[in-house]
């Protein structure tokens, strides 16, 4: 079954009849809005005109109840028919303001942001290991504790060749139990 679509410049597929559907929605919307307003106006004039008369109740008041749904449906059709134009206009109005706001915030926080990132990178490089005996902090490559002199266990290697954390009880790769010598 052949699809009735073609590609726009940005690669998004749209319906080939998109333009005519949009035009149809616009025309239908205008017709429904005008018809609905006509019904509402007829009913309102009849209602308010009968207030000053002693002739009785209004006989075209029902037109308001016909006109309101027609007006609502017509507005919905117009919104759908003009959605692209409205969205492009709105984007053109909002995008420069959003860009200016973002640039203002970035200019005001650039130094703080740079120092925070620099500090985080520096802290990431300062990795330490804790002594299992006295809990003192030691450099990552230390073999013995600088406070108590006890041996600091290094990474454990499994029989499968995977290097695991020093405190690991099982291999990260194969799940084999790791021994103290392992």
pLDDT of residue 42: 96
Residue 1, classed as helix, strand or coil, is: coil
**In this structure, are 43 and 132 located in the same domain?**
no
- What is the C-alpha separation between 153 and 33, in angstroms, rounded? 81
Domains of the chain: total? 2
Query: What number of other Cβ atoms are within 10 A of residue 9's Cβ?
Result: 5
pLDDT, block means (10 residues), the chain with 182 residues: 52 70 94 98 90 78 96 96 90 91 83 80 68 84 86 81 82 84 46
**In this structure, are 89 and 156 located in the same domain?**
no
Whole-structure pTM value = 0.47
Q: Which domain holds residue 161?
A: 128-182
Nearest partner of 32 among 64, 84, 86, 77, judged by Cα: 77
């Amino acid at each position: 079954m052949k699809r009735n679509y073609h590609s726009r410049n940005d690669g998004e597929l749209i319906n080939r009849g998109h333009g005519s559907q949009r035009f149809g929605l616009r025309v239908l919307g205008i017709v429904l809005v005008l018809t609905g307003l006509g019904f509402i106006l007829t009913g309102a004039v009849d209602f308010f005109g009968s207030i000053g008369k002693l002739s009785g109740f209004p006989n075209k008041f029902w037109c308001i109840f016909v006109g309101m749904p027609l007006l609502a449906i017509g507005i919905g059709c117009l919104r759908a028919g003009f959605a692209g134009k409205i969205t492009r206009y709105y984007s053109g109005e909002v995008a420069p303001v959003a860009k200016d706001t973002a640039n203002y915030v970035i200019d005001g926080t650039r130094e703080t942001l740079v120092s925070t990132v620099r500090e985080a990178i520096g802290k990431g490089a300062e990795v330490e290991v804790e002594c299992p005996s006295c809990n003192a902090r030691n450099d990552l490559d230390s073999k013995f504790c600088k406070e108590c002199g006890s041996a600091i266990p290094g990474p454990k290697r499994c029989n499968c060749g995977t290097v695991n954390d020093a405190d690991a009880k099982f291999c990260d790769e194969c799940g084999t139990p790791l021994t103290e010598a392992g």
